[in-house]
Amino acid sequence: MVINIENILSEISEDTHLNVDILNDFLKIKSISTIPEYANECMKAAEWLKNYLTEINLDTIIYESEGHPIVYSEYKSQKAASKTLLFYGHYDVQPVDPISLWNSDPFEPTIAEIDGEKCIVARGASDDKGQLLTFLIALKYFFKNYGELPFSLKIILEGEEECGSKTLPIFLKDYEDKLSADIAYVCDTGMWNKNTPAITRSLRGLLSEEVEIIGPNRDLHSGEYGGVAWNPIRLLSEIISKIYSADGKVMIPGFYDGVSEVQENVKTSWSQLEFNETDYLNKIGQITSSGENNRTIFEKTWSRPTFEINGIYGGYTDEGTKTVIPSSASAKITCRLVGKQDPKKILDNIHSFMKSNVPEGIKVNFKGSDYCKAIEFNTDSEFFSVSSEAIKEEWGKAPVYTGGGGSIPVVEVFKTQLNMDTVLVGFALDDDRIHSPNEKYNLSSYIGGIRTWARIFSKFA
């Protein structure tokens, strides 16, 4: 199969308006997975994808269970010894609150010029509808021009990434025999900046928990019991204050077990990235950075673990005053994990640490946890090499290998359950405002992303 990639690239660029219209149509679907009232919209998005994939010549089904549906497609290449790729994306989006901060209807896409760049503004534009369409639209041009792909393909598009992916493990178990592939591709990450592409070399893991401190058996009058009864808010605050040392380290016993130092050559490559720490901090309204002393921003976000308090509540919080000693106080916590940290061991140590730091008779309850391990990828594999070569051809420079501060749980599942590595190629930018009002996706990212995937596909011919 001989591919004339320049012809395909020309068509993609000529079809810019058509491909923007396709994305706009998709973005109008209010596929918010976290709010039950939008279940029908999630099904509508799944059906939209099924129709699109069927039209471009892919066998496609909608897999249904108790949660939001999964769209699954297959294509079998007739080429002998062809590679098999698996692509993952998600069609669900975050809620749009606070709606008052949006400059336009979040589900009526608009083209806006932001910092000199034309952008598509809508919920899901960057996370992840625009990103996944870069892959799917690139496929269209191969079927249109050649009637086939130079590889076999399996596609998983889920509707619960933003709410815990509860259906995905069930699907993977049911379809495990069908999902073997040489490599997985995920387009849910970003570029270093608008001119510098990136491939993510690692992802931090995630551990979440909610702790509740119970003191008195009911709310108490602070005049009658103040100074006598233990105040759970105070106790919880004291526990939190003991978690961090003065130099920013997490003091949970065994927390750093399995954490290794980053190789010096990797640190060197990070230090050469175009980056201004002051500007970075100013964008989030900060002057100094938190975390461990004597660590760079890159180390703190890509290669070091964290312990964060995501929310804390208890007692009376409405207007006015209510003089009570509350019976309970709670906090939601998450940890970002790296290297070979064991989430289960860390969770057990967190439980022990908190229980050991309350007075006798005070109850400590844990309301449910979830976790996934950190993961690192083999950047010497042929798939990283092929992808890097194609990306360099499109963007005029080699991609930088960055770390991912967040987690993509499905990537760990691909590794542990399907024994499959993943290449994370994405075109989002750090100012895309994902999960926030006025989410956007640069037009250059969208069209450049489609062109990049076309180049990657051609490498398998």
H or E segment and range at residue 267: helix 264-271
Q: What is the mean pLDDT of residues 7-34?
A: 98
**pLDDT score recorded for residue 186:** 98
Q: What rounded mean pLDDT belongs to the chain?
A: 96
- pLDDT tens digits, one per residue of 409-426: 899 889 988 999 999 999
DSSP letters along 404-442, please?
ESS--HHHHHHHHHH---EEEE--B-TTS-TTSTT-EEE
Q: Is 283 helix (H, G, I), strand (E, B) or coil?
A: helix
**Residue 206: CB atoms within 10 Å:** 20
Q: Which residues have CB under 8 Å from 359's CB, separation 6+?
A: 230, 235
Q: What is the mean pLDDT of residues 74-93?
A: 95
**pLDDT score recorded for residue 406:** 86
Q: How far apart are CA 304 and CA 300, in angstroms?
A: 5
All domains of the chain in start order, with CATH: 5-203+374-458 (3.40.630.10), 205-259+305-372 (3.30.70.360)
| pLDDT surpasses 90 at 329 | yes
pLDDT band at 407 (very low <50, low <70, confident <90, very high): confident
pLDDT band at 245 (very low <50, low <70, confident <90, very high): very high
pLDDT band at 81 (very low <50, low <70, confident <90, very high): confident
**pLDDT score recorded for residue 412:** 87
Q: What is the mean pLDDT of residues 9-25?
A: 98
pLDDT band at 203 (very low <50, low <70, confident <90, very high): very high
pLDDT band at 367 (very low <50, low <70, confident <90, very high): very high
**pLDDT score recorded for residue 108:** 99
Q: How far apart are CA 141 and CA 153, in angstroms?
A: 15
Share of the chain above pLDDT 90, in %: 90
Q: Which residues have CB under 8 Å from 293's CB, separation 6+?
A: 247, 248
Q: What is the mean pLDDT of residues 225-235?
A: 98
| pLDDT surpasses 90 at 269 | no
**pLDDT score recorded for residue 265:** 84
**pLDDT score recorded for residue 378:** 86
Q: What is the mean pLDDT of residues 140-158?
A: 97
| pLDDT surpasses 90 at 362 | yes
Share of the chain above pLDDT 70, in %: 100
Q: What is the mean pLDDT of residues 362-375?
A: 93
pTM: 0.84
Length, in residues, of the chain: 461
